[in-house]
């Protein structure tokens, strides 16, 4: 279920170290912004949260931290992608997304249903000759704000 907040930075540093990357100030700022928001953020939102960051470095570092297994990039349309901490640092969850404004919030399924899904997906992957299956569930709807036209 993720790690305690005080261990988080240690874990991030370790994951970066595994691909020979330092945990620099700018990267820490990105991680803190993501932790603070508690919900997936777009790049402009991240820059707003942490105004010291520059666009190109933020993109570069997010991409690198995605490879390091520190952040996850969510793509749901043509506008900006959203970024969040990787599941290993937070806990397995899914997303509820507004078709109107694109806002994303985290949701979880109960343990038993999640287990049934794991079984079903494992079988699907096996039958298709796929390995290392993970899954990604998005629930789409219209949020209260957008429903009010």
Q: At CA 2, angle to CA 20 and CA 44, rounded to 5?
A: 70
Stretch that binds a copy of itself, among 9-17, 30-38, 52-60, 136-144 (CB under 8 A): 136-144
Among 2, 26, 69, 100, binds DNA (CB under 7 A): 26
Under the binding rule (CB under 8 A), the answer on residue 133 touching a copy of itself is yes
Find, among 26, 87, 38, the residue nearest to 62 by Cα: 26
Map the footprint of DNA across residues 83-142, applying CB under 7 A.
none
Map the footprint of a copy of itself across residues 6-65, applying CB under 8 A.
none
Map the footprint of DNA across residues 44-63, applying CB under 7 A.
52-57, 59-61, 63
Q: For residue 51, what are the CA distances in angstroms to 46, 63, 71, 127?
A: 8, 19, 19, 48
Q: How far is the CB of 109 from DNA (least distance, A)?
A: 27
Choose from DNA, a copy of itself, none: what does 137 bind? Cβ within 5-8 Å by kind.
a copy of itself
Among 42, 49, 102, 146, binds DNA (CB under 7 A): 42
Q: For residue 49, what are the CA distances in angstroms to 12, 26, 78, 83, 126?
A: 20, 12, 22, 13, 43
Among 39, 69, 80, 121, binds a copy of itself (CB under 8 A): 121
Residue partners of 26: CB distance under 8 A and separation at least 6: 52, 53, 57, 58, 61
Find, among 141, 121, 145, the residue nearest to 131 by Cα: 121
- Binding residues vs a copy of itself (CB under 8 A): 75-78, 96, 98-99, 105, 107, 109-110, 113, 116-117, 120-121, 124-125, 128-144, 147
């Amino acid at each position: 279920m993720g790690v305690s907040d005080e261990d988080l930075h240690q874990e991030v540093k370790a994951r970066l170290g595994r691909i020979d990357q330092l945990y620099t100030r700018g990267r820490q700022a990105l991680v803190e912004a993501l932790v603070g928001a508690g919900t997936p953020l777009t790049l402009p939102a991240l820059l707003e949260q942490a105004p010291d960051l520059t666009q190109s470095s933020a993109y570069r570092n997010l991409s690198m931290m995605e490879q390091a297994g520190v952040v996850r990039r969510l793509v749901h349309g043509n506008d900006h992608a959203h970024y969040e901490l990787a599941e290993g640092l937070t806990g397995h969850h899914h997303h509820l997304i507004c078709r109107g404004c694109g806002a994303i919030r985290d949701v979880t399924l109960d343990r038993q249903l999640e287990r049934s899904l794991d079984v079903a997906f494992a079988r699907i992957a096996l039958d298709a000759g796929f390995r290392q299956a993970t899954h990604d569930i998005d629930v789409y709807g219209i949020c209260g704000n957008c429903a009010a036209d």
